[in-house]
Amino acid sequence: MSLEFLHIEENGIKYLVHPPGSIFAGIKMRENHEDAFDNAIKRGMKDPENWMYMYSDKGKDYFKHCDTRAYRSYPQFDLKDKIKNKFKSRDER
């Protein structure tokens, strides 16, 4: 049994996935966790230094608070949102 992560891409986001046979099988984590933080901040996350990125599931990124251990999720921007934001920022110039 290989314990290597599987690399997948969904909706333009690259993930690492635990392999079959692992107790965490199927859990997806972004290859670049900073993208999850950037997305969450744009969606309203306050005090990102107090949160840990945990995993992604069903179009959301999940974070756990460092002190309280409370979880919070933020919807991921899909391709349509990214294109819309790109045009919006270009119009603002």
92 lies in a domain?
A: no
- Please indicate, yes or no, if residue 51 is contained in any of the structural domains: yes
pLDDT along the chain (93 residues), means of 10: 78 89 89 94 95 94 97 85 67 64
Tell me, yes or no, whether 93 lies in a domain: no
Q: Does a structural domain hold residue 36?
A: yes
33, containing H or E segment: helix 33-42
Residue 44 resides in a domain: yes
Yes or no: say if 18 and 24 are a contact pair by the CB < 8 Å rule: yes
Number of domains in the chain: 1
The whole domain housing 59 covers 6-87
Domain assignment present for residue 32? The answer is yes
Per-residue model confidence (pLDDT) at position 47 = 96
Q: Please check whether residue 78 lies inside any domain of the structure.
A: yes
